[in-house]
Amino acid sequence: MSHLGPLLLKEERAVFSSPIACATVAVYLLLMGYTFTAVLFLNRTGDLVRVFFQAAVLFLLIVPVVTMRLFAEERRAGTLELLLTAPVREMDIVLAKFLAGLTLPTVMLALTASYAVVLGIYGDPDWGPIYSGFLGLFLLAAGLTAIGLLASSLAPNQIVAAVAAMGLGILLWMIDTLGYLLPDPFDRIVSHASLVAHFTPFATGAMFLSDVGFFLTLVLTGLFLSSRALARR
């Protein structure tokens, strides 16, 4: 019998009853609102490319703050012992925490959709890049959530989890620049690991299955390693 339902419900309540949820959504909306307004008035173009990149950078900073408590908080409070001694699959626990961690960025994205609505009302935007941009942001958020979950499952406390996830996320975001310094084939390998290299096509309206596959691989790897980290005790 799967325990995903009750676990997910509990995790969602934990995420949304925490003051972190309110604070991160508020900060995100404030900064995104500023970005959207500034870009719209300065550029006077009906696209969201810069808004998407701004959101991606904010996700690099915000998602680790959301995910840091997922395992580290349970470990600190000792409740992880309750969960792991119940007749529950470790993967159900990991999956519930991942989905709950992804909910908050998804809510932020849904709220960001209001900018697209504004563009639709007052202009005639090209909807293709807008759809692909939101899909790209969602996949990026999922990848960062998986990284954050893994950091939280390994770190001794929440702060270390947040710093580690942030560091790894930012490193993966800009690792493609390292590719210019490396010889073939290492330059290509490093470039393939870059978050920005795989996100840029989505933001500019070019969707490739390989980019979707990259983010899905990142998510599955994060979930698998988190599950192994949990089993190692």
Q: Which residues bind another protein (CB under 8 A)?
A: 1, 3, 5-7, 9-10, 13-14, 17, 77-79, 81-89, 233
Between 37 and 79, name the residue whose CB sits nearer to another protein. Answer: 79
Between 17 and 210, name the residue whose CB sits nearer to another protein. Answer: 17
Between 86 and 113, name the residue whose CB sits nearer to another protein. Answer: 86
Between 58 and 94, name the residue whose CB sits nearer to another protein. Answer: 94
CB count, 10 Å around CB of 26?
A: 10
Q: Which helix (H) or strand (E) holds 28?
A: helix 19-43
Least spacing, CB of residue 148 vs another protein, in Å: 21
Between 85 and 210, name the residue whose CB sits nearer to another protein. Answer: 85
Question: % helix / strand / coil in the chain, to the nearest 5?
Answer: 85, 0, 15
| CB 145 within 8 Å of CB 64 | no
Question: What gap in Å lies between CA 171 and CA 166, rounded to an integer?
Answer: 8
| CB 130 within 8 Å of CB 48 | yes
What are the φ/ψ torsions at residue 145 (nearest 5 degrees)?
-65, -40
Least spacing, CB of residue 95 vs another protein, in Å: 14
Least spacing, CB of residue 16 vs another protein, in Å: 11
Question: What gap in Å lies between CA 40 and CA 35, rounded to an integer?
Answer: 8
